Amino acid sequence: MNMTNERIINILLVEDSEDDIIIIKEAFSKFHNIQLTGIVSDGVQAMEFLRKEAAFQNVQRPDMVLLDINMPKKNGFEVLREIRKDPGLNFLPVIFLTTSNNETDVAKGYAEGATSFINKPVDFDEFNRILNVFSKYWCEVSIIPDIERSPKFR
């Protein structure tokens, strides 16, 4: 394992709101060690991306997934369940980034294996502040597996 501030963290963003995508891209552009390696708009595309299927055969596998709950085709809980059942993916940090602050959704997310649960505020400045805190945590504090160097993932 490497400290995350020694390398770039590649994130798959699973989000169906164009406005939220713009805000997230803007916030993350300030951090040299965070890269949105992929942006998909529904749960089916998310699983295809993670498994390198269909149009995503040549993508770089992400180090973590930022996942909305309410999406078309397959919701965030369904995606999380699939990730946690897949031995090639179950190690990935999966962070829910959603407008839902429903206590049942939060409890369900953690019970099904979510790494974290972040509520998207409606205020642009607050959203930006939260993403800055997120970035600092994952880049300066947390340690995640380096897929390219770990023998398990080769």
Q: For the chain, give every domain's residue range.
A: 2-146
- Average pLDDT on 128-134 reads 83
List, in order, residues 6 or more apart from 49 with CB less than 8 Å away.
12, 38, 40, 56, 59, 62
Q: How sure is the predictor about 49, in pLDDT bands with cuts at 50, 70 and 90?
A: very high
Per the structure block, which two tokens stand in for 67?
A: 């996942």
Q: In whole numbers, what is the pLDDT of the chain averaged over residues?
A: 86
Q: What is the pTM of this model?
A: 0.86
Place of tokens 């919701």: 75
- Range 2-146 has CATH code 3.30.450.40: no
Amino acid, single-letter form, for residue 34: I
Place of tokens 């946690």: 84
